[in-house]
Amino acid sequence: MNTIALEFETEQEMQEVADKLWNKHGITGEFEMFQTPSGTFRLHIYSEKAIKDSLLEKLPGKRVQMKGSFGSAVRTEVPSEGN
């Protein structure tokens, strides 16, 4: 699976890019969309096939480093009975 992260100023711009990748370019897999704490919008793409660099260069948005915890367990603390 190929992973790419793009960041956008508006939610509409992010949605338009996701729609274009899915419908026009046939990119399939998982798309994760969310607003970051800084107020920008992030699109994580977990593509089933490689996305050509020439296509990525034409897309609006800024390519960013993905900080993923996709599929990883998150540790939780369980209080002991003695505390």
| CATH number (domain holding residue 44) | 3.30.70.260
Model pLDDT for residues 12-56, shown as the tens digit of each residue: 999 999 999 999 999 999 999 999 999 999 999 999 989 998 998
Classify residue 47 as exposed, middle or buried by CB count within 10 Å of its CB (0-12, 13-18, 19+): middle
Is 48 within a domain?
Answer: yes
Is 81 within a domain?
Answer: no
Q: Count CB neighbours of 16 within 10 A.
A: 15
Is 59 within a domain?
Answer: yes
Overall domain count for the chain: 1
Q: Radius of gyration (Cα) for the chain, nearest Å?
A: 16
Parent domain of 23: 2-64
- 47 forms beta bridges with 2, 29
Is 21 within a domain?
Answer: yes
Is 82 within a domain?
Answer: no
Is 75 within a domain?
Answer: no
**Measured CA distances, 18 to 5, 26, 81 (Å):** 11, 11, 48
Binned at pLDDT 50, 70 and 90, residue 66 comes out as confident
Q: Is it the case that residue 75 has pLDDT exceeding 60? A: no
